[in-house]
Structure 1
Amino acid sequence: MSDIKILWVDDEIELLKPHILFLEQRNYKIDTRKSGSEAVDSIDSNEYDIVFLDENMPGLSGLETLSEIKSKKPDLPVVMITKSEEENIMEDAIGAKIADYLIKPVNPNQILLSLKKNLDHSRLVSEKTTSNYQQEFGKISMEMSMVNSYQEWAELYQKLIYWELELEDIEDAGLIEILESQKIEANSQFGKFIDKNYQRWFEDQDPPVMSHTLFKEKVIPELKDNTPTLLVVIDNLRYDQWKAIEPHIAPYYKKTNEAPYFSILPTATQYARNAIFSGLMPAEMEKLYPNLWKNDTDEGGKNLHEADFLNEQIRRLGVSLKWEYHKISSLKAGRQLAQNFKSQKDNDLTVIVYNFVDMLSHSKTEMEVVKELASNDKAYRSLTQSWFRNSPLLDIIQQSQQLGFRLIITTDHGTINVKNPSKVVGDRDTSLNLRYKTGRSLTYQDKDVLAIKDPKEVHLPAINMSSSFIFAKNDLFFAYPNNYNHYVSYYKNTYQHGGVSLEEMIIPIAVFEPK
Structure 2
Amino acid sequence: MALVKIIWVDDEIESLQSQKLFLENKGYEVQTFTNGFDAIDYVKENHVDVVLIDESMPGITGLETLAKIKEMKQSLPVVLITKNETENLMDEAIGSQISDYLIKPVNPNQVWLSLKKIIDNKRLVAEKTTTAYQQQFRHLFMALNSNPDYNEWMDIYKKLVYWELEMQKSDSPEMQEVLQSQKGEANTEFFKFVSRNYASWINPKSGDGPVMSHSLVQFKVLPHIEKGTPLFFVLIDNLRFDQWRAIQPIFAESFRILEEDSFYSILPTATQYARNAIFAGMLPMEIEKKFPQQWKNDDEEGGKNLHEEEFFRAQLKRFGKGDLKVSYTKVLNNHAGLELMNNIHNLLNNDINVIVYNFVDMLSHARTEMEVLKELAGDEMSYRSITTSWFEHSPLHQALKKIADKNIRIVLATDHGSVRVKTPYKVIGDKQTTTNLRYKHGRNLNYEQKEVLAYREPKEIGLPSPTINSSFIFAKEDGFLCYPNNYNHYVNYYRNTFQHGGVSLEEMIVPVIKMESKG
Q: 1:274 to 1:252 in 2, by over 3 A?
A: same
- The 2-side partners of 1:238 and 1:367 are apart by 21
Counterpart for residue 504 of structure 1: 507
After superposition, residues 144-155 of structure 1 pair within 5 angstroms as 144-155=144-155
Counterpart for residue 229 of structure 1: 231
Give every structure 1 segment of 4 or more consecutive aligned residues whose post-TM-superposition deviation is greater than 3 Å. 123-126, 358-370
8 Å CA contact retained: 1:360, 1:369 = no
Counterpart for residue 325 of structure 1: 328
Counterpart for residue 142 of structure 1: 142
* TM-score between both structures, scaled by the size of structure 1: 0.74
| Alignment counterpart, residue 304 of structure 1, candidates 282, 287, 306 | 306
8 Å CA contact retained: 1:449, 1:472 = yes
Q: Is structure 2 residue 279 aligned with structure 1 residue 277?
A: yes
8 Å CA contact retained: 2:283, 2:463 = yes
| Alignment counterpart, residue 378 of structure 2, candidates 340, 360, 375 | 375
Q: 1:484 to 1:303 in 2, by over 3 A?
A: same
**Which letter maps to 1:509?**
V
Q: 1:364 to 1:375 in 2, by over 3 A?
A: closer
After superposition, residues 55-204 of structure 1 pair within 5 angstroms as 127-203=127-203, 204=206
- The 2-side partners of 1:207 and 1:244 are apart by 28
8 Å CA contact retained: 1:124, 1:175 = no
Counterpart for residue 429 of structure 2: 426
- How far the C-alpha of 1:225 sits from its partner, in A, is 3.9
8 Å CA contact retained: 2:437, 2:480 = yes
Counterpart for residue 396 of structure 2: 393
| Alignment counterpart, residue 495 of structure 1, candidates 489, 495, 498 | 498
Does the residue aligned with 1:464 lie in a helix, a strand or coil?
Answer: coil
**Which letter maps to 1:280?**
M
- The 1-side partners of 2:364 and 2:200 are apart by 37
| Alignment counterpart, residue 288 of structure 1, candidates 282, 287, 290 | 290
CA RMSD, Structure 1 to Structure 2 (Å): 1.8
Q: Is structure 2 residue 258 aligned with structure 1 residue 256?
A: yes
- The 1-side partners of 2:494 and 2:369 are apart by 11
- The 2-side partners of 1:416 and 1:392 are apart by 26
- The 1-side partners of 2:411 and 2:509 are apart by 17
- The 2-side partners of 1:361 and 1:392 are apart by 19
Q: 1:131 to 1:262 in 2, by over 3 A?
A: same
- The 2-side partners of 1:366 and 1:256 are apart by 38
Counterpart for residue 437 of structure 1: 440
Q: Is structure 2 residue 212 aligned with structure 1 residue 210?
A: yes
Q: Unaligned 5+ residue runs, structure 1? A: 1-122
- How far the C-alpha of 1:431 sits from its partner, in A, is 1.1
Deviation digits for residues 158-196 of structure 1 (CA, Å, limit 9, x no counterpart): 010111111112122111111110010000000000000
- The 2-side partners of 1:200 and 1:364 are apart by 36
Q: Is structure 2 residue 469 aligned with structure 1 residue 472?
A: no
After superposition, residues 354-373 of structure 1 pair within 5 angstroms as 354-357=357-360, 360=363, 370-373=373-376
- The 1-side partners of 2:461 and 2:286 are apart by 11
Q: 1:448 to 1:359 in 2, by over 3 A?
A: closer
Counterpart for residue 403 of structure 1: 406
- The 1-side partners of 2:372 and 2:271 are apart by 19
- How far the C-alpha of 1:338 sits from its partner, in A, is 0.2
8 Å CA contact retained: 2:414, 2:510 = yes
- How far the C-alpha of 1:202 sits from its partner, in A, is 2.4
Q: 1:488 to 1:124 in 2, by over 3 A?
A: farther
Q: 1:304 to 1:514 in 2, by over 3 A?
A: same
**Which is worse superposed, 354-363 or 169-178?**
354-363
Counterpart for residue 33 of structure 2: none
| Alignment counterpart, residue 338 of structure 2, candidates 332, 335, 338 | 335
**Which letter maps to 2:134?**
Q
Report the identity percentage.
53
- The 2-side partners of 1:490 and 1:124 are apart by 40
**Which letter maps to 1:239?**
F
8 Å CA contact retained: 2:423, 2:478 = yes
- The 2-side partners of 1:316 and 1:366 are apart by 41
8 Å CA contact retained: 2:125, 2:170 = no
**Which letter maps to 2:458?**
P
Counterpart for residue 446 of structure 1: 449
After superposition, residues 46-57 of structure 1 pair within 5 angstroms as none
Counterpart for residue 483 of structure 1: 486
Q: 1:317 to 1:369 in 2, by over 3 A?
A: farther
Does the residue aligned with 1:249 lie in a helix, a strand or coil?
Answer: helix
Q: 1:364 to 1:300 in 2, by over 3 A?
A: farther
8 Å CA contact retained: 1:361, 1:370 = no
* TM-score between both structures, scaled by the size of structure 2: 0.73
- The 1-side partners of 2:444 and 2:365 are apart by 35
- How far the C-alpha of 1:315 sits from its partner, in A, is 1.2
- How far the C-alpha of 1:345 sits from its partner, in A, is 1.2
- The 2-side partners of 1:324 and 1:151 are apart by 33
Q: 1:259 to 1:399 in 2, by over 3 A?
A: same
- The 2-side partners of 1:387 and 1:401 are apart by 19
Q: 1:363 to 1:172 in 2, by over 3 A?
A: closer
Deviation digits for residues 46-81 of structure 1 (CA, Å, limit 9, x no counterpart): xxxxxxxxxxxxxxxxxxxxxxxxxxxxxxxxxxxx
Does the residue aligned with 1:443 lie in a helix, a strand or coil?
Answer: coil
- The 2-side partners of 1:198 and 1:467 are apart by 19
- The 2-side partners of 1:310 and 1:433 are apart by 27
Q: 1:125 to 1:409 in 2, by over 3 A?
A: closer
